[in-house]
Structure 1
Amino acid sequence: MALENAKPGINIEKLAGWLAERTTSSKCPFCSNHNWSAVNGSGHVGSALPYGDGKGDMYIGGYPVLALVCKNCNFVRNIALTPSLLEIVIEDSPIAPE
């Protein structure tokens, strides 16, 4: 399979370690569950929260985030993918698109 359109992935284990160093709990604020899944975490670099102008107009670009979803109640927790965090959690080798 050619990697010409390959996308970098996020190393979920590195992200979990980074979060553990900075948070006091991995507990879901809704149901107290501790199990999360990462949306697009293995094949894409996150998602985006769209930019808006406060008047209802949205823009195609957005703020990069990785959505974590509680495996029990589906609460969504977003983690901002800042350049400094991406330096830590980005996969070393690109992943081919599906």
Structure 2
Amino acid sequence: MKIVWRRSAITSLLALDRWRGSIELPPIAPYLKDTIQKFFAKQDLSIYIPGRHVLIQKMPVDLRMVLVSVGKSDPYKVFYRITTNEIEIFLIRHPHQKSLA
């Protein structure tokens, strides 16, 4: 399955790096993007669809959220949806970031 990164996902990765910089942590966006790519590449969606359905204002209604761990830190929230032969990544959030409206 092809993985598509929406503009909102790239924007959220950049915001995540700015947030990490404000608390004196190094950038993680490129590593996190690779980790998420690998996570979805190894999934067999014919057996199990990871995550749970979520509703966020101004986002698609068939959105799902999955937690992806990077090292020993708290898992990152990855918001995505499955379309015909594609996985669309919409947002990436750290649990300690300000919550979505």
TM-score range with shorter-chain normalisation?
0.3 to 0.5
Normalised by the length of structure 2, the TM-score is 0.37
Normalised by the length of structure 1, the TM-score is 0.37
Instruction: Tell me which of the two structures has the higher relative contact order, counting C-alpha pairs closer than 8 angstroms and 6 or more residues apart.
Output: 1
More helix by share: 2
